[in-house]
Amino acid sequence: MTKKIVKSEISVEDAAGGAAPTGTQTAYIEELHGNLFVNIALAYYCAARRPAAFTGNTMKLYQWTANRDGGRTQLSSTPINGSSGQNAPDAWEGTTNLHTLQLDHAYTGQAAAADAGRWEIIVTMVPAIEMCEEDFVALASAVSIRVVKKSI
């Protein structure tokens, strides 16, 4: 049986030796299902083992649900991972009956050439209940990551 399915999407990239971009990114993790246990991570990959500092990098997760018109409705303006979010890189995991989680990423670029890299959103899914492989693959395959650039 397929134990887990992983999907990822690049959020933003730093150019080596270039000006470090700063701003915010928004991504939507859509088509979630209560029978999936999900881990949503915001990871940073760079040439250095770890950048000199992650000052100013945070992630916030907001709740959206499907509405009867076939659209989505935001449920709360308070992030589910704390009122001020959490410092990034980091991850959140759990199960949800919500249709969508919105990930807002406040971003401060790394200026040093060795620290230049990319932020990546990684969604890992495993069954939250006993289910056949076909059902798990169908539910997990429907989940998507849609990155929307706000201001970089």
99-111 pLDDT, tens digit per residue, is: 899 998 887 766 6
In this predicted structure, what is the pLDDT of residue 140?
Answer: 94
In this predicted structure, what is the pLDDT of residue 18?
Answer: 57
Q: Mind listing the pLDDT tens digit for each residue in 65-93? A: 888 887 888 888 888 887 777 888 888 99
d(CA 144, CA 87): 24
* pLDDT over threshold 70, residue 114: no
d(CA 12, CA 149): 9
Of residues 145, 93, 124, 114, the one with CA closest to residue 48:
114
In this predicted structure, what is the pLDDT of residue 150?
Answer: 57
Q: Mind listing the pLDDT tens digit for each residue in 35-72? A: 999 999 988 887 666 666 677 788 889 888 888 887 88
- Give the CA diameter of the chain: 49
Question: Tell me, what CATH number does 40's domain have?
Answer: 2.60.120
**Choice between 152 and 145, residue whose per-residue pLDDT is larger:** 145
d(CA 62, CA 60): 7
- pLDDT band of residue 135 (cuts 50, 70, 90) is very high
* Consecutive H or E run containing 111: none
For residue 40, the enclosing domain spans: 5-151
Q: Mind listing the pLDDT tens digit for each residue in 4-29? A: 899 988 877 765 555 566 778 889 99
pTM (2 d.p.): 0.84
E strands, 1-152, where? 5-13, 22-30, 36-46, 58-66, 72-74, 86-87, 90-95, 100-108, 117-127, 144-151
DSSP state of 114: G
Per the structure, how many domains does the chain have? 1
CB of 48 closer than 8 Å to CB of 110: no
**Choice between 51 and 94, residue whose per-residue pLDDT is larger:** 94
Phi/psi zone of residue 23: left (φ > 0), alpha (ψ -120 to 50 degrees), beta?
Answer: left
